[in-house]
Amino acid sequence: MTYKIRKRENMEVYMTSEIVELDPNDFRELEENPYTGDSQEEFLKYIEDLNLQYNEPSDELDFEVQEELKKLGENLSWTEFGNSAEQGSNTWFELGEEDPAYRRTGGFNISCRSNDN
In the structure, what pLDDT confidence band is assigned to residue 14 with cuts at 50, 70 and 90? very high
Q: Which residues of the chain form beta strands (DSSP E)? A: 4-9, 13-16, 79-83, 91-98, 108-113
The 10s digit of each residue's pLDDT in 43-89 is 999 999 999 989 999 999 999 999 999 999 988 899 999 988 888 77
Question: 30 and 68 share a domain?
Answer: yes
Question: 91 and 70 share a domain?
Answer: no
Question: 61 and 91 share a domain?
Answer: no
Question: 8 and 31 share a domain?
Answer: no
Question: 33 and 53 share a domain?
Answer: yes
pTM of the shown model: 0.71
Question: 63 and 24 share a domain?
Answer: yes
Supply the range of the domain harboring residue 41.
Answer: 20-77
Three-state DSSP state, 105: helix
Specify the pLDDT at position 97: 96
CA 33, distance to chain mean position in Å, is 25
Number of domains forming the structure of the chain: 2
Q: Quote the radius of gyration of the chain (alpha carbons, Å).
A: 23
Query: Above 70 in pLDDT, residue 117?
Result: no
Q: From residue 48, give the alpha-carbon distance in Å to each of 11, 52, 76.
A: 26, 8, 14
Specify the pLDDT at position 2: 94
Phi, psi of 108 (to 5 degrees): -135, 120
Question: 73 and 88 share a domain?
Answer: no
Question: 25 and 54 share a domain?
Answer: yes
